[in-house]
Structure 1
Amino acid sequence: MEKRKGRSPAIVRKMLPAGQQVSDTIGLGLLLALSGGLMDAYSYLCRGGVFANAQTGNMLLLGVHLSQGDWAASFYYFCPVAAFAVGILAALFIRHWCQQIGKLHWRQIGVLVELLLLAGVAFIPQEANLLANSLISLACGFQVEAFRKIDGNSIATTMCIGNLRSAIHAAAEYSFTGVRRERTKSLTYFLVILFFVLGAVLGSRAIAVWREWAILCSSGLLLICFGLMFLELIRNGEGRDGHGAA
């Protein structure tokens, strides 16, 4: 009997919405937001008061210490900012490389690298917090660049300020126009913010118990994201989250 092509297991079809990249789904976005909140809490509470995700705070503290002539402290806050920028460039490089090869899935590869980086941070002692924070910021930079949309809406999973503005804007538009799409958009933004905060709560509790090892919780969340992308690969054959993905 001839095999049917293009058919994926039933469990895969149920978990992944047809016609939508998994990287654009609310489920993956919430997992990433949970991980993002955990990473920021970890770097701030466990690694010397540095924001892995919120580079605005690091730039502010960089400027303050520069004004005081404290070059060592300035360098301490400059490194995570620079690493964040490198993470963005790394995402673009991985995407370009996968486009050249033609079959690899750049977001999936990037998430795998990200979770391995964070797992490595767990082994870094407190004396090397500068390295730990820089690696976390590098991972966040990749995540910011690679996952920019949920259900077609521009959403960040590692910071909240832009999401909060967009959530309030969409809620106001819904109150003015009654368009249900705006209500859905607003709820999506607020849900991502909620999961980011929950990630910070999870991170705080995990740090109290496991200290430096708490970052492994973030690696675990990213491993689930990697698995969901792998399911999409099974469902789609070559997948839509690879070389041709935006």
Structure 2
Amino acid sequence: MIKSRQMSESIRLGMLLAASGGFMDAYSYIVRNHVFANAQTGNILLFGVNLSEGNFRMSLHYILPVIAFALGIALAEIIHTKKDIALHWRQGSVLIEALILIAVAFFPLRLNLLANSLTSFACGIQVESFRKIRGNGIATTMCIGNMRSGTQHFYNYFHEKNKESLKKAFLYYGIIVCFVIGAVIGNLFIKLLHEKAILCCSAMLIFAFILMFIDYEREEL
């Protein structure tokens, strides 16, 4: 019997996508006026703070990326339901994400609001399209849920001596480490390329797109 695991749930792809998630957050925060691409909780908080101070213009800079993020999730679901596309729907999602970020690279700083909204839109596509690694619910664009699950599995290992829990704990925390590495890489490229740095993140996503053609998760049982 042949068992084929989804390439979209492989550890290698998850690591690459987590690094791209960290890259996007570093880019939007450092280059595009301190707005988060992925951390919508932070954007919602800053929206509320600016709203309470009557800074309505600045509040738009935080709430529009949140709306764009939600629209990105919706687009990923639309792509998912399409039956007549040549590519696997997750491949289509990551390709669209990469193309959006290429466009963002050429937006001048005076268009930060649009650039941040499109980056968050791309992140919404990613968070909805890639929700599992090896069957475990893992986010590649944020860390808090991964931290909760990883810590829970660490506790289960020390409490029950379950080696499978230890493996899962390292998986969750490993994805967090990849997110941090993506932020570090992003900061380095930002210093060199400024607003064009997001092209490097787009290249990572194009590599992820190519990687998904390779079914090296296939196992013979």
Give TM-score, length-normalised by structure 1: 0.85
Deviations 1:168-218 (A, max 9, x none): 100000001111110010000010000000000001110001101110111
Deviations 1:117-170 (A, max 9, x none): 001111000000001000100000010000000011100001001101111100
Tell me the residue number matched to 2:144.
161
Tell me the residue number matched to 1:197.
180
Q: Give the C-alpha shift of residue 231 in structure 1.
A: 2.6
Deviations 1:41-81 (A, max 9, x none): 00000000000000000000000111111111111111100
Deviations 1:91-113 (A, max 9, x none): 0001112x3x2754111011111
Tell me the residue number matched to 1:244.
none
- Tell whether 2:107 aligns with 1:124: yes
Query: 3-state SS of the aligned residue for 2:61?
Result: helix
Within a 5 Å distance, the mapping from 1:1-246 to structure 2 comes to: 19-97=4-82, 99=83, 101=84, 104-232=87-215
Q: Judging changes above 3 Å, is the alpha-carbon distance between structure 1 residues 175 and 52 closer, same or farther for their aligned structure 2 residues?
A: same
Q: Give the C-alpha shift of residue 230 in structure 1.
A: 2.1
Structure-1 separation of matches of 2:217 and 2:189: 35
Alignment root-mean-square deviation, CA: 1.7
Q: What is the number of residues matched between the two proteins?
A: 217
Percent identity reads: 52
Structure-2 separation of matches of 1:198 and 1:87: 24
Structure-2 separation of matches of 1:167 and 1:106: 28
5+ residue gaps, structure 1, are: 1-17, 237-246
Structure-2 separation of matches of 1:168 and 1:216: 34
Q: Tell me which amino acid in the other structure corresponds to 1:151.
A: R
Q: Is the 8 A contact 2:4 2:217 kept in 1?
A: no
Q: Is the 8 A contact 2:7 2:217 kept in 1?
A: no
Q: Give the C-alpha shift of residue 235 in structure 1.
A: 9.9
Structure-1 separation of matches of 2:200 and 2:174: 20
